[in-house]
Amino acid sequence: MSGLSIFEAMPGNTFGTLLRLTTFGESHGKAIGGVLDGMPSNLKIDFEKVQKQLDRRRPGQSSITTDRDESDQVQILSGVFEQKTTGGPIGFIIPNKDQRSKDYSKLKDVYRPSHADYTTEAKYGHRDYRGGGRSSARETATRVAAGAIAEQLLPKVKIVSYVKSVGGIRTDIIESPSRSEVDQNLMRCPDQKAAKQMIAFVEELKTKGNSVGGVIECRISGLDAGLGEPVFDKLHADLGKAMLSINAVKGFEIGSGFKASEMLGSEHNDEFIAKGKTATNHSGGVQGGISNGEDILFRVAFKPVATIKLEQSTVDKDGNSITLKSEGRHDPCVVPRAVPIVEAMAALVLADHYLRQKVNQ
């Protein structure tokens, strides 16, 4: 630790620059929560919108999600008076009410495949084996609450995410759906035909005790040109970091993404047809790390949920080989519940860069 400042040595529980979210709590603790610092004062907050986003993420909401039943009712502790922000830190908690810690008692000395059990113990020398502690996706509820508050700083900006694919089933829909259209089915895919196939596939996997990954696409419209802080804080770089910080995310691409590597410059260049308007949007709404006024379009890839009920080979802390069959309640596919998480992290990035741009002007 010698030679490092306290800021360089701080653990990674805080996200953002001017708008900063710090989260706390574990999956099987009394509550999870957060502190959102940097919100301007005198901003009226619609907490029904905040709770609606939490309801979209909460467990136990359908046949294709985990059976854990949490109401996820957010409780605001500070920073808001008479429904308006005071300028002080907004502190909040979300109580945990449906923990079954006994389901994890057999995992105390076992490293589950593709979980953070071994790496957490290697880093800290001690871990909370009940649901994974801080590595649990339960922590993302605090991000959703904070993101739903931050989003209200940008009322003209529309952030909509939806499920693009599950396993090998995908939609090629190009329209820009609303959140209500996304929520018309359990999968949160606006293509009803594809959604029906996805749901049937996930329900089958759930009965077999297996899991599958998927891709979420996010479209952001109504954002002015000029947001982004080159060189290292490019807007798409911060969006990438935000998305990759979400549990189970394995990939991020914006605009043409990896397909750009197969294109010619004459095909990929977005030609201007007017000031602030381009004929195509291969850039995904960001050029040179700065928003250009076009829709921001990106995709986030999620791996299959690591906890499955099939037998797997692993080892315990002493290196003994064992056969593991996991207990507990887990999603067979995380993407339907991850839709509001992607939206929340996007909102936090945009609100932070909005405040940074105000400082620059």
At 86-100, the pLDDT tens digits run 999 999 999 998 666
Q: Report helix angle 335-360 to 235-244, nearest 10.
A: 150
At 300-320, the pLDDT tens digits run 999 999 989 899 999 999 999
Residues lower than pLDDT 70 in the chain: 1-10, 68-69, 98-105, 328-329
Coil vs helix vs strand at 15? strand
Q: What is the pLDDT of residue 247?
A: 95
d(CA 148, CA 168): 31
Omega of the bond leading into 305 within 30 degrees of 0 (cis): no
Tokens of 162: 């939806």
User: Under CATH, what is the fold of the domain 14-360?
Assistant: Chorismate synthase, AroC fold (3.60.150)
Quickly list DSSP for 225-287. Answer: TT--BTTTB-HHHHHHHHHHTSTTEEEEEETTGGGGGGS-HHHH---EEETTEES--TTTTEE
Q: What is the pLDDT of residue 257?
A: 98
Q: What is the pLDDT of residue 1?
A: 46
Q: Are 25 and 139 in contact (CB under 8 A)?
A: yes
| Cα distances (angstroms) measured from residue 91 to each of 35, 76, 139, 247, 249 | 4, 6, 15, 23, 27
Q: What is the pLDDT of residue 103?
A: 61
Q: What is the pLDDT of residue 175?
A: 81
Q: What is the pLDDT of residue 6?
A: 52
Under 8 Å CB-to-CB from 238, ≥6 apart: which residues?
349, 352, 353
Under 8 Å CB-to-CB from 106, ≥6 apart: which residues?
327
Q: What is the pLDDT of residue 5?
A: 58
